[in-house]
Structure 1
């Protein structure tokens, strides 16, 4: 599961008993050697779907971690790319490792629930971060994303279909989420990471409520389930083409760091 360069069991245990922010600060130097990093085939598949929708001017990698998705944006955007994350340690690694050949890249430490940006982006992407948000936080999170997009801008992220009940994958995810809930009931600070909480039906409903127009794209590279549905979809949520509302967002100061 982990390469020899990845974290030890002890290091993972220390991370799991820390806050989310502190845990990722500790994990950052070895994060790219864990299965938590978004695999390159997923990044390539997302890029192939988004490319015909461009070109884009500016892009934001939301909860960027060590910058895997930032590299995708640097190939899709012409003007500027920003990576934002709540973990200073992850951003430090991203600054060292991401060397895009495209537009300039900026790194900003920020809370995804209180983004310090004006509506300046044409494309926002996010990879593998939504398990760190509780279902009740989705309305605010999606409202924040919409607030930083220009009219007609897009918010895109891959979403893996849940395993069928009774399968090994189903029990593995259920077991992980159960362990995390017990851990958070007994230990402080909490570590929010639930693999089963981010569901397509809830996601579509909250994106609609936030004013997005939602489209789904199958990523055929990852096959289909027994019922014929895609194993992995790309969710693309687009803002209306008209001007922002009069009470729309303005540039904000830096806020407290939050979940990745």
Structure 2
């Protein structure tokens, strides 16, 4: 799963025993060399699904990390892109990583803002907000606050978009892997402080859709067909499109 240039087992252990913010500050220089970075095929699928929903002037990458989502937004936004994250290390890595991303080199510059996604410091100034791979860092009770903050940052008609994968089949290897990871994290957080909030099974789509509606969004789902289909023919991934009417 990890390349020879990626983080060592010791570095991962130190990160896992830190707070979320400190852990990502430590991991940031090697984050893009880990499996945690959103794969290019997912980025490409999201980019293609976003283009017909535009045009967009201003885009916001929520919990931007090293800027994978900002790279997508540079391809679909005409005027400006902002990445927001609470890890200074990840923001620094994002500045460096995006500077060498040829796929998005023609897009607008990215402005990097350090802030908590539960207290976004923005007026309603964005046409589209995107988030990739960050929702496991929020407990279910925090989700309505997060969605309300994104809603308040969007202009009327603005879209909040993010991909979601189909849940793994009960009893499959992936199912047991995710369940085991979440159980290990709960034990870790019960025994060790500061807590490191990262769970894979706390973002069920029905609850997410309810929370988006509660924040004021109108929601629809777009299949990301190029990411494949399940044995029953349903898509392996969809893109949630939540609109501030």
TM-score by length of 2: 0.96
SS of alignment partner, residue 164 of structure 1: coil
The structure whose residues are more often helix, as a share, is 2
Cross-structure match for 2:66: 66
CA RMSD of aligned residues (A): 0.8
Q: Distance in 2 between matches of 1:162 and 1:190?
A: 26
CA distance in 2, matches of 1:98, 1:131: 24
1:66 Cα shift?
A: 0.4
- Counterpart pick for 2:213 among 208, 218, 221: 208
Q: Which residue in 2 is equivalent to 1:27?
A: 27
Rounded Cα–Cα distance in structure 2 between residues aligned with 1:167 and 1:186 = 29
Taking the aligned partners of 1:104 and 1:116, their CA distance within structure 2 comes to 19
Give unmatched runs, 5+ long, in structure 2.
100-104
CA distance in 2, matches of 1:114, 1:218: 31
2:204 aligns with one of 177, 199, 220? 199
**Correspondence 1:169 to 2:171:** no
Give yes or no for the alignment of 1:138 onto 2:114: no
8 Å contact from structure 1 (residues 162, 196) kept in 2: no
Partner SS, residue 214 of structure 1: strand
The higher-RCO structure (CA 8 Å, 6+ apart) is 1
In 2, the alpha carbon distance for the partners of 1:209 and 1:182 equals 32
The 5 Å alignment of 1:99-110 reads: 99=99, 100-110=105-115
For residues 216 and 204 of structure 1, the distance between their equivalents in structure 2, rounded to whole angstroms, comes to 10
**1:37 match:** 37
- Other-structure match for 1:11: 11
Aligned to 2:240: 235
Aligned to 2:5, the other structure's residue is in SS state coil
Q: Which residue in the other structure is 1:258 paired with?
A: none
Measure, in 2, the Cα distance between the counterparts of 1:202 and 1:225.
Answer: 22
Q: Which residue of 1 aligns with 2:158?
A: 153
Residue-pair matches, total: 240
| Rounded Cα–Cα distance in structure 2 between residues aligned with 1:48 and 1:222 | 12
